[in-house]
Every structure is written in structure tokens, then in C-alpha cells.
Chains A and B, each alone.
Chain A
Amino acid sequence: MKKYIPFFKAGMMEEMAYKTAIFSWLLITILQLTCIVFLWIAVYANAASPVINGFTFKEMIVYFVVTNIFSFVCLESSTLYDINTEIKDGTIAISFIKPISYRFRFLFRCMGACTCRLIIMGLPSLIISFSLFIGLGYLKIESVPVFIAHVLLFFVAMILAVAMYDTIDYMCGVLCFYTTAAWGLNFSKGVLVGFFSGTLIPLAFFPGKFGKIVEALPFKGLSQNPVFILTLRVDLMTSVKYIISSAIWLVIFSILGKLLFNHASKKVTVQGG
């Protein structure tokens, strides 16, 4: 464990170097949310009932604001590109003989980067938006201890989500052993994960059988479940259930990643190493 701490720190430092990226995210997100707010105002104005698929207008706005912050902090990892770079410049050969786990090295770096984004942008924007929500009556907190319990569970769910996202990123990175299409893989992965984890719309909007299948997939643990826990949409028991299911899926995905890596590492062709 101790030997991975430097990678955690390196991840934080690297993220610090991209401050403009963090602040441009803020501007882009505010623009996006403005658009979403007007869309939902129009949707609810045209709807027959004030509740659509279990969401009132206020709940919808809370959901989108928190989801945007959450996905900025957690759903980003450079692992895929890092693996691709290592394959391209040949440094991967050295990584194979180092006495550290290839997987954990990237995981800790990703965790470091997330921690940095959480401190610089995530926590301040969450605190500001929660104060606004409570002040404007968009979110009601009936008991403070319960809310604190939700916040603590949220952090557990968040760590699991980050680890899960990085594992998916890692698996896509390992696919770069077979193909050079890092950009396309990364883009496709982002789209699919975003769609199935509920960052575009809550999964409750997915109709019929399709909705049931998506609900059964592990991706909702990446965004929708943590957001539901934090915004008090589910009770504590359900929150714990969400966390257990995420943990199980994380183990499954880690094993799959390991198997994939074992297969791929026999195939590796180093370009110019």
C-alpha cells in the first residue's frame, strides 16, 4: 500500500497543473445546466402531471446539478491514454519488470487526480449548490444526523465509483494492446458509460424492457446511485444495498480486467521500444 502513495500524490500534482481545464469546466457546465433548466421548465409546463417518472421539477434540477458535479470529479481517468502512451513509446516493457502492480499504480494515480478535483472544484460547488437548494426549498433535510450518514455513505459510494470507472478505463486501455484506436475507444467508452449511468437522463426515464435491462447493469453505480444517496432520494438501507452491489461489481470487473491483461500482455508489440 505504502509504495503506491507517491502515485496518488503524482496524480494530485498533475491535476493541479491543469487549472484552466478545471475552470473552463465550470463555465461549460454552467452553460449546459442553463440549457437543461430551460428544457425542463418547458417539459414540465407541457406535462399533464407535476411528477414525471417520479421526479418533480425541483428534484430534476437537483439531480442534474449534482450529477454534473459528480461526473466531473469522478468520471474521468487518464489510465487509458497512459497505457496507450506506454505502448507507443515502449516504456511498458519496463513496467512489466517493476515490483509494483501495473493495475494499482494507475488506480492510485486516478484516485489522486479525483481527490484534487474534489478539493478544488467538487466540494466548493457541492456546498454552494446544496446551500442554494436548501435555501430555495429544492431539497429538504429533515434530520441532520441522517443527512450526515448519507454524506458518509456517499463518499464510500464515490470511492467505489471512481475505482469502477478507472477499472473500465483500464480495460479499455488494455484493449490498446490489440488496436491503436485509443481516441475512439476513449470516446465510445465515455458515451456508453455516460448514457447507462444516468448522466444524460435518470434511468427511470428508460422505458419497458430496455429500462429493466439498464437497471440491472452495473453502470448506475457509477453516477446515479451515488447521486441518489447524496440527494436523499433513497433511504439508508437502500444506500447500503447500492454500495454492496457496487463493491461486488467492482470485484467482478477487476477480475475481468486481470484476465484481459493476462491475455493481452502475451500479445504486446512495443512500437519503437
Chain B
Amino acid sequence: MSELKYYIKLYFTNMSRSMIARMEFRNDFIIGIFGFFIQNVAALLSLYFIIRNIPNLNGWNMYQMGFLYGFTMMPIAVDHLLTDELWRLAYFRVKRGDLDNYFLRPVPVLFQVLSETFQPEAFGELIVGAVMLIMCGIKCHINWTVSKVIVILVATFFGAFIVTAIKILTASPAFIIKRSGFIMQVFYNFRDYTRYPIGIYPKAIRILLIALVPFGLIISLPVENVMFENYNGLVLCIAIIAAAVVSMTIACFVWTACAKRYESTGS
């Protein structure tokens, strides 16, 4: 128990260091939030400009699409807030060989990497997402039940775990091939698929999105459940939690195996 306490304390110490370092460049931080904010506004406007030409998209009206879009941001923003160091690691840190200090400390490397950066830019996404969920949620006249709320909360938090697991899995090859940022990018981009109702895709892509790159499982299905009540909430929750546990276990295992291959640069 004291060990857990130690790690929690260490985590928050690292996080506050990261925050202090970020605040030194306050303009970067503000312009960064602005960037994420307008990115989402641009994507939402584009979606709106498309949807306004048709009565509905396979039974989804504009507000339901807006709710779906808002929800795609939630698990991803949580992940974004906490684990962005993985991008840097996959793109250039392994290549530069500047991870040596992590390997010398008596704390797991993955823990140190994840606690390295706190990315307040993600608040930009969280805010846009939350505004969309509330505004569109009201317009959709959703028949809220306890089970739906639980599914949404489970999908947000365990969904974030799944996103992180995907990032860890795709960052791990960097230890062997030096750069794996593009692999991460390819998998991460599958989240764009979930901005539209999963029903518009053929069966093969739907299976891919639910079983292999489970953005569909954590985003599309919970939102469908909120709108159309076509799934059993309990089953959905169990599936998401099971997927989170399994994918995180595999990710940690692969990471540990790959990290052994790390070598620092000679220079």
C-alpha cells in the first residue's frame, strides 16, 4: 500500500514539474489550446455543412451526430491530457537515445514516461466535447437512464485506457526500429472513423473497429446505446472493461519486451 502511495506522490510531483515547465512558455500553451479548439470547430462546421444538405444520415439527425462527435473527444482527450509523451518517444526520443535516465532509476520505465508530460491543451478538446455533449444532448431529447449514464462513464474512463494501450502498443516498436510514430499515427487515425455512425461502414470495417482497433467499441456503441437503446448496457460495460484490461495487459507485456532492446546513442 505504501508503495502505491509512493507512486501516486511521484506521479503528481512529476506532473506539477511538467506543468511548471509548460507555464514558462505561457503563450505556447494558450496558442496550443486555441489550435485544438479551432481544429475541432473546423471539423464540426464541416460536418454541419455536409449534414445540413440531407434530412438525416441513416437515421441520425444533426444533433445526434453532434453528440456523437462530442463523445469521440472524451476518451481521447483524457488520454491526450495524460500520456502525450508517448508521441514524442515514438517519433524522436528513442532515435535520439535520450531515455537513458529512465532506465537507471528504480521505477518502471513506462510509469516514468507516462508521468513525464501533462498536456493542458487537451482541455481545449474536453471543453468543446463537453459543450457538444450538453448542447446536442438537450436537443436530442434523450431518455436518460442510470444504465446509460454508467455506460457513458465507463466508456470515457476505460476507453481512455484502451486508447493509451493502443498508443503504448504502437510506441513499443520504436525500441526496435527507432521510430514508430507513423505506426501510432495510422492506428490513432482510426478514431476519425467513429465521428460518423458506425452503420455507414461495411461489415468488415465494423468488425475491425469493434474488435481490432476498438475505437468503435468505446465510442460508437455506447452512443448508439444512448440514442437507440439497442444494446444491453451491462454487456457493453463488461465488454469495454474486459477490452481495457486485456489490451492494457498485452500493451504492458509488449512494452516490457521491447524496452529491453533499447540502446542509447554512442555520441
Q: Which residues of A contact B (CB under 8 A)?
A: 20-21, 24, 27-28, 31-32, 34-35, 38-39, 41-43, 45-48, 52-53, 179-185, 187-188, 191-192, 194-195, 200-201, 205-207
| Smallest Cβ-Cβ distance to A200: which chain B residue | B46
Contact partner of B201 among A20, A38, A180, A191, CB < 8 A? A38
Do A47 and B54 have beta carbons less than 8 Å apart?
yes
Q: Which residues of B contact A (CB under 8 A)?
A: 25, 27-32, 34-36, 38-39, 42-43, 45-46, 49-58, 179, 182-183, 185-186, 189-190, 192-193, 196-197, 200-202, 205
Q: Which chain B residues lie closer than 8 Å to A53 at the CB level?
A: 53
Q: Which chain A residues lie closer than 8 Å to B55 at the CB level?
A: 46, 48
Do A39 and B35 have beta carbons less than 8 Å apart?
no
Do A39 and B200 have beta carbons less than 8 Å apart?
yes
Contact partner of A32 among B49, B51, B189, B200, CB < 8 A? B189
Smallest CB separation, B185 vs chain A (Å): 6
Smallest CB separation, A103 vs chain B (Å): 24
Q: A38-B196, A180-B27, A181-B30 are in contact. List 7 more A-B contacts (CB 8 A).
A: A28-B182, A31-B189, A34-B205, A42-B200, A181-B25, A188-B31, A191-B42
Q: Which chain A residues lie closer than 8 Å to B50 at the CB level?
A: 39, 43, 201, 205
Tell me, in angstroms, the Cα distance from A136 to B202 when the chains sit together.
Answer: 21
Do B32 and A183 have beta carbons less than 8 Å apart?
yes
Tell me, in angstroms, the Cα distance from A20 to B179 when the chains sit together.
Answer: 10
Q: Which chain A residues lie closer than 8 Å to B29 at the CB level?
A: 184
Tell me, in angstroms, the Cα distance from A28 to B192 when the chains sit together.
Answer: 11
Question: Given the interface contacts A20-B182, A24-B185, A35-B193, does A187 sit within 8 Å of B32 by beta carbon?
Answer: yes
Do B49 and A28 have beta carbons less than 8 Å apart?
no
Question: Given the interface contacts A24-B185, A42-B57, does A206 sit within 8 Å of B179 by beta carbon?
Answer: no
Smallest CB separation, A57 vs chain B (Å): 13
Tell me, in angstroms, the Cα distance from A41 to B205 when the chains sit together.
Answer: 15
Q: Which chain A residues lie closer than 8 Å to B39 at the CB level?
A: 187, 191
Do B182 and A24 have beta carbons less than 8 Å apart?
yes
Q: Which chain B residues lie closer than 8 Å to A206 at the CB level?
A: 49
A-B contact number at CB 8 A: 109
Smallest CB separation, A205 vs chain B (Å): 4
Do B46 and A201 have beta carbons less than 8 Å apart?
yes
Smallest CB separation, B194 vs chain A (Å): 10
Q: Can you pick out 12 interface pairs between chain A and chain B where the beta carbons lie within 8 Å of each other?
A: A24-B182, A32-B189, A34-B205, A35-B192, A35-B193, A43-B53, A43-B57, A52-B54, A181-B32, A184-B34, A187-B35, A192-B38
Q: Which 4 A-B pairs have the closest CB atoms?
A: A184-B31, A24-B182, A42-B200, A187-B35
Tell me, in angstroms, the Cα distance from A194 to B39 when the chains sit together.
Answer: 10
Tell me, in angstroms, the Cα distance from A53 to B34 when the chains sit together.
Answer: 31
Contact partner of A194 among B42, B190, B200, CB < 8 A? B42
Contact partner of A207 among B25, B30, B49, B183, CB < 8 A? B49
Do B49 and A180 have beta carbons less than 8 Å apart?
no
Tell me, in angstroms, the Cα distance from A207 to B50 when the chains sit together.
Answer: 10
Question: Given the interface contacts A181-B27, A187-B39, A188-B35, does A207 sit within 8 Å of B52 by beta carbon?
Answer: yes
Tell me, in angstroms, the Cα distance from A53 to B46 when the chains sit together.
Answer: 14
Do B196 and A39 have beta carbons less than 8 Å apart?
yes
Q: Which chain B residues lie closer than 8 Å to A207 at the CB level?
A: 49, 52
Tell me, in angstroms, the Cα distance from A180 to B46 when the chains sit together.
Answer: 31
Smallest CB separation, A234 vs chain B (Å): 21
Question: Given the interface contacts A184-B35, A194-B42, does A28 sit within 8 Å of B27 by beta carbon?
Answer: no
Do A181 and B31 have beta carbons less than 8 Å apart?
yes
Question: Given the interface contacts A181-B28, A183-B32, A201-B49, does A38 sit within 8 Å of B42 by beta carbon?
Answer: no
Tell me, in angstroms, the Cα distance from A192 to B51 when the chains sit together.
Answer: 21
Do B53 and A200 have beta carbons less than 8 Å apart?
no
Q: Which chain B residues lie closer than 8 Å to A31 at the CB level?
A: 186, 189-190
Tell me, in angstroms, the Cα distance from A9 to B50 when the chains sit together.
Answer: 42
Do B53 and A47 have beta carbons less than 8 Å apart?
yes
